[in-house]
Amino acid sequence: IKSRLTAVLGDSSPLFSTVRFWVSEFMRGRMNTSDEPRSGRTKTTTRPEILDEIHDFAFEDHRIKVREIEEAVCISSEGVVHILHNKLGLKKFCARWVPHLFNPEQNAFEPEHQPTVCKYFRQIQQISSEDL
């Protein structure tokens, strides 16, 4: 088996000890190569109530610190950062927690702000053209 794997995979083939381990596993009756469920506590647990609580903290005060959330929710700072970055899609920008990607509603200009934005854009264009 090892020689056939080496012929197909070359240098990327598994070690002989790994092949021997899997051969013995299949001989004992194992049917697949996926991991078996493990006992014990999971590395990261994200309960919906903690997720909602951190979401509320982050959107009430965009300048809140990870340490403050950690103390309020009673989970580790790594857990707070994991939830903020990976679950809520937030990132720290200019000392504020902001969405990494805006949804279409957040991305569009509000109609009442469009004249103001256009006015500022024209002013910037005039200033930059005067400098040339």
Residue-wise pLDDT tens digits, 26-80? 888 888 877 777 776 666 567 888 888 988 888 888 888 999 999 998 888 888 8
Is the Cβ–Cβ distance between 55 and 89 less than 8 Å?
no
Is the Cβ–Cβ distance between 80 and 70 less than 8 Å?
yes
With 80 as the cut, is the pLDDT of residue 25 above it? Answer: yes
Scanning the chain, the segments in alpha helix (DSSP H) are 2-9, 16-27, 48-60, 66-73, 77-82, 104-107, 114-131
The rounded percent of the chain whose pLDDT value lies above 90 is 5
Q: 16: domain range?
A: 1-34
Query: Which pLDDT belongs to residue 67?
Result: 92
With 70 as the cut, is the pLDDT of residue 9 above it? Answer: yes
In a domain, 114, yes or no: no
In a domain, 2, yes or no: yes
In a domain, 119, yes or no: no
Query: Which pLDDT belongs to residue 94?
Result: 75
Domain count, the chain: 2
Q: Are residues 24 and 55 in the same domain?
A: no
Residue with tokens 């002013």: 123
Collect all residues with Cβ–Cβ distance below 8 Å to 95 and sequence separation of at least 6. Answer: 63
Query: Which pLDDT belongs to residue 63?
Result: 85
Query: Which pLDDT belongs to residue 101?
Result: 61
Task: Give the C-alpha separation, 52 to 87, whole Å.
Answer: 11
Could you give the C-alpha distances from 59 to 14, 56, 88, 103, 104, in angstroms and in order?
48, 5, 11, 15, 18
At 103, is the pLDDT very low, low, confident or very high (cuts 50, 70, 90)?
low
In a domain, 71, yes or no: yes
